[in-house]
Amino acid sequence: MAARGGFFLSLLNYKTEKYVIAENRKIGILFRLYQLAVLGYIIGWVFVAKKGYQEKEEAIQTSVFTKLKGVALTNDSNKGLHLWGAEDYVIPPNGEQVFFVVTNYIETPNQRLGFCPESDRVPDGRCTSDDDCEEGETVIAGNGIKTGVCINSTGTCEVHAWCPVEYSPRPQEPLLSAAENFTVYIKNFIRFPNFNFFRSNVLETAEANYLKNCTYDSETHPYCPIFHLGNLVSWTGSDFQEMAVKGGSVGILIEWKCDLDKDYSLCNPQYSFTRLDININNSVTSGYNFRYAKHFKDPKGESFRTLYKVYGIRFDIMVNGQAGKFSIVPTIIALGSGIALLGAGAFACDMILLYMMNTSSFYRERKFEIINFNKDGKDSKAAHRERRSKKSSVEKEASNSITREDETGVAAAESQSSSVERRGPTIPRNTGQRYSALLSPGPDQKLHVSFSPRF
């Protein structure tokens, strides 16, 4: 319990930094290299490449209109010559973000409600006897409802349907091969609501006939919104005539990247193109087709129809974008993350010094220091008296050392003077005479000085 209480009390301690300079060249070089890498990341990647100082908006509001132009002439055994216009081969004809262009078709004309044999290409419609054709049962993936009769000549069940049922095979060459030269006008409007910014992909120009004479080219006319269908397919890496036989799907991506810190005229779309359907070794998953019918009435008022199974290319227009403008909030966040990364470098170097070096214990002793503050006043006074007694003892010791030094100096001076008394005074010599002084060995003897001439 005491250990647990000590742990919880330690949570109330305050920790502050203590800076220790570790003269370790390897750690110092490692830390500086890390700092340079972080600075390069913040400046080069965060601010220059990703524009981390900008507020970004990706919730783009967009609207797309399409308009196709072109005519094609076909000649088949059922209808003979037929001129196809945009209202015939474009589905839907009003122009939307997704549109379909007919490139090949199977036509079954003059179908009327009645009884006829099911197609032998429908597995559920095949039979060997009437028992295989249960009356009132719908033919799975077929054209009508079984009547209970098996037609031996065709080996299929009789059905109540629009007769005759579809029977013609798919043409091996596209009937509307001229669709490669059709053009599509794609008009795109965008809006970034947070910045109240509007833009269109149509080039702002004073030339009235610009759109009548231009077609999109990534180098010569990058901002012309008129495209050849053949180019749209070829830019995906596919062949238009090959795709036109069975159909396919092409994606047109319009991408807006607008830096609103610059002039608004520099905000222009970038186009990219891709094939969306899977075309692997002419598998059954490749291609695109569907059926539709045109209904008529004869002079007698009876209904009949012409059934079309059309193959073609579906174009999906996808728009996305991003706008950015300077804001102080993302700038502060980017700087804060950079400072945090710099702190991570200091933490890593500390871990190396604390736990991975031979001198780790020495570094820990220098880095961490615990200071205890006493809570009781008496203890504080006692601690203060103890510090004062320690100080006075230190001062006494210092004064004693000074006294000893003085006594030593005095003793040395006295010994020097006694030696002088024993030796006697030194008398200088004059020219022609020599003086000598002799000290008497006893206190009663008198000083005797003798002079001797010098020749």
Q: Is 211 annotated as a binding residue?
A: no
3-state secondary structure (DSSP) of residue 75: strand
**Strand pairing category for 183-192 and 226-228:** antiparallel
Q: Is 183 annotated as a binding residue?
A: yes
> Contact 346/65 with Cβ under 8 angstroms?
no
d(Cα 96, Cα 319) in Å, to the nearest integer? 13
d(Cα 338, Cα 335) in Å, to the nearest integer? 5
Least Cα distance to 91 among 79, 101, 106, 103 occurs for 101
* DSSP result, 148-190: EEEETTTTEEEEEEEESPP-PPPPSS-TTGGGGG-EEEEEEEE
d(Cα 252, Cα 226) in Å, to the nearest integer? 13
Q: Is 68 annotated as a binding residue?
A: yes
**Strand pairing category for 248-259 and 303-326:** parallel
Q: Which runs of E-coded beta strand occur in 238-327?
A: 248-259, 269-275, 289-297, 303-326
d(Cα 317, Cα 251) in Å, to the nearest integer? 6
3-state secondary structure (DSSP) of residue 106: strand
Residue listed under structure tokens 């891709």: 274
Q: Is 296 annotated as a binding residue?
A: no
Torsions phi, psi for 399 (to 5 deg)? -65, -40
Tokens linked to 440: 């008497």
Q: Is 290 annotated as a binding residue?
A: yes
Least Cα distance to 159 among 173, 143, 174, 170 occurs for 143
Q: Is 289 annotated as a binding residue?
A: yes
Binding-site residues for ATP sit at 67-69, 183, 289-291, 309
Binding-site residue ranges:
67-69, 183, 289-291, 309
